[in-house]
Amino acid sequence: MPITEKYKCSSDMNERILKILENLLKHDISKSEAQSQLLHLYSVVGSKPDTKAALNASVSAIYFSDSSDYRSYHYQVIRSLTGLDEVTEINISKLFNELNPE
């Protein structure tokens, strides 16, 4: 059974998952980088529109250097929605670009 049927993901998401796995198998990326990319992909592409909007609000606030008192809460929201243990500038940049494609 194809992965798109078993997990009901779009063909675009399936292609992106396969590309990440291909890069891992070719040792172009590390296991932790593959895991990070898959978490990003799932949390962005695989999420519901309202969840994606909430994630985008927090990612954008951090990406644009929001200096409000709520910054720590944005980190907490991002960790909760993505499953990431650590929210870094690199993760924020990747999430922002994924949520806001040109």
Show pLDDT as tens, one digit a residue, over the chain (102 residues): 444 444 455 666 677 777 877 887 788 878 788 777 777 777 666 677 777 777 777 777 777 776 666 777 778 888 888 888 888 888 888 888 888 887
**What domain count does the chain have?**
1
* Model pTM score: 0.47
SS3 15: helix
pLDDT at 46: 65
> What is the Cα gyration radius of the chain?
14
Q: Give me the domain span that covers residue 64.
A: 3-99
Angle ∠(61,19,30) on CA atoms, nearest 5 = 75
pLDDT at 83: 82
Give first-to-last CA distance, the chain, whole Å: 34
